[in-house]
Structure 1
Amino acid sequence: MLRSMYAGISGMKNFQTKLDVIGNNIANVNTSGFKKGRVTFQDMMSQMTSGAQGPTATRGGINPAQVGLGAQLGSIDNIHTQGFRQTTNRPLDFALEGDGMFVLQDGDTTYYTRAGNFYLDQDGYIVNPQGYYLMGFGEEGETSQIQIPENAQSFSVQKDGTINYVDEEGIPQVAGQIVLANFSNPAGLEKAGSNLFLNSTNAGYTGLVSPETDGASIVSGALEMSNVDLSEEFTEMITAQRGFQANTRIITTSDEILQELVNLKR
């Protein structure tokens, strides 16, 4: 059978995966804290027709002759660029400007996220939509949950992540400071769904820091939205569609050639 037919099949599979990733990006264009994906391709092993030869006293060198056997999936990357900020004027919506991720605790499992839509439960703890606790630094510098007492008259969030509230006697108090997790390679994080990420062996976790130490800032009353660019995704979608069509044409042409070979017997 012709090698071009199998090369076309490998190209079709790759472009199908690319379209899957593009579709997921477009579906999450309005998802807060979402980080878009990107697909890269690599060529597969090439079949050697003739090897390279070095120059001799009477003849120059000859380059190798190889026939490629198609393409394969290289990587599916998560692009952790900053998403645009959308103003909501809701005090418990936190937009994170700069590096780092919010830390969430669910029992013994730690999650990380850039989605800053948080809420208060009935006990006054700050939680995400799944009920996972937002973690912060307590008065003694230990990592703990952040609680705003029920008798608090009001609360506010500073750029350094410090959450202040006014108690029932009108005295300002500190509920805690939001903590951020740092990663040297955030693209190595694993997506866990629901705008959450899990640490991995290649994420390069470097520890917990306060926002001002990390050079980041927290903006209350705003959300960081998806970093998906629709114009870029539509362009990539057209490219993937044309690439898929070109590979199907390779298969059709190879089939016609095989048909001609079969007809030689007639």
Structure 2
Amino acid sequence: MLRSMYSGISGLKNFQTKLDVIGNNIANVNTYGFKKGRTVFKDLYSQTVAGASAPGGNRGGVNPKQVGLGSQLATIDTLHTAGSTQFTGNTLDLAIEGDGFFVVKDGTKDVYTRAGNFYMDQNGDVVDGDGRYLQKTGGGKITIPPTATSMSIGQNGSVTYVPDTGGNPVEVGIINIAKFNNPGGLNKVGGNIFEASTNSGPVIPGAPQSGGRGTIKSGSLEMSNVDLSEEFTEMIVAQRGFQANTRIITTSDEILQELVNLKR
């Protein structure tokens, strides 16, 4: 069989994957804290028809003769660029301006998110939409007494409330912000949640505005970093690439048909 046919098949598979990633990006264009994916290809190994030779005697050197055998998937990156900030006016809507992730407790383990739409349950604990507790520095959940008259969250992550008896505000704690040496190595597990992996590096917890961590912006939410114009352009490129690879396969098939017809 012709090598070009198998090269075309490898291209079809890769562009199918690229379209899958683009489709997921577009589906999450309005998902708070979503980080888009990017597909990167690389060539497969090449078949060496003749190796290179060094200069010698009365002849110069000769370059190798190689035929490529198609393409393969190199990486599917998660791009942690900042999304735009949308003002909501809700105190418990939080956005991180800069690096870092909110830490929430999922059962017995910590997981991480950039989606800052938090709420209070009936006990006054600050939770996300799935009931995971927002963590403060040093560990532990953040609890606002039901009798508090008001609460506020500062840019440094300090959570305070005013007691019903009046007086000075009481600080509950400071919101924990996690950093990673390689945030691109985090695993997406769904629900706007990331988990540490073997290549993300260990979690480095700390307070906002310290150690390169971002600033907390209360009353705002970070939107998805998906750019629709970019995604539609990439979709066109992927569609044309898919079509071009189908032409490779059909042309190779026509050549094979001509070979079969030689016997007639």
Q: Does 1:157 align with 2:153?
A: yes
Give the aligned residue type for 1:148. Answer: I
Structure 1 outlier segments of 4+, above 4 Å: none
C-alpha contact (below 8 Å) 1:99/1:214 kept by paired residues: no
Contact 2:116 2:221 in 1 (8 A): yes
1:144 Cα offset (Å): 1.1
The aligned counterpart of 2:45 is 45
Aligned runs of 1:177-188 on 2, under 5 Å? 177-188=174-185
- Are 2:96 and 2:217, in contact at CA under 8 Å, matched by a contact in 1? yes
Tell which deviates more after alignment, 206-215 or 94-103. Answer: 206-215
Aligned residues: 262
Q: Which runs of 5+ in 2 are unaligned?
A: none
What SS class does the counterpart of residue 117 from structure 2 fall into? coil
Q: Structure 1 residue 202 and structure 2 residue 199: aligned?
A: yes
**Helix, strand or coil at the partner of 1:76:** strand
Residues 67-120 of structure 1 deviation map (CA, whole Å, 9 limit, x = unaligned): 111000000000000110001111110011010100000221211000000000
Compute the displacement of 1:206 (Å): 4.3
SS in 1 for 2:75: strand
Unaligned runs of 5+ in 1: none
Contact 1:100 1:214 in 2 (8 A): no
Instruction: Tell me, yes or no, if structure 1 residue 54 matches structure 2 residue 54.
Output: yes
Deviation of 1:170 after TM superposition, in Å, equals 0.8
Contact 2:196/2:203 (<8 A) preserved: no
Is residue 25–residue 36 contact of structure 1 (8 Å, CA) maintained in 2?
Answer: yes
Percent of aligned positions that are identical: 62
- The separation in 1 between residues aligned to 2:21 and 2:235, in whole angstroms, is 10
Secondary structure of 1:239 counterpart? helix
TM-score norm. by structure 2 comes to: 0.98
3-state SS of the aligned residue for 2:58?
Answer: coil
Residue 105 (str. 1) matches residue 105 (str. 2): yes
Give the SS at the match of 2:11.
helix
Q: Matched residue of 2:242: which SS? A: helix
CA distance in 1, matches of 2:81, 2:211: 16
| TM-score of the pair, normalised by structure 1 | 0.97
Number of the residue aligned with 2:220: 222
Shift of 1:189: 0.2
Q: What amino acid is the match of 2:102?
A: F
> Which residue type is aligned with residue 255 of structure 2?
I
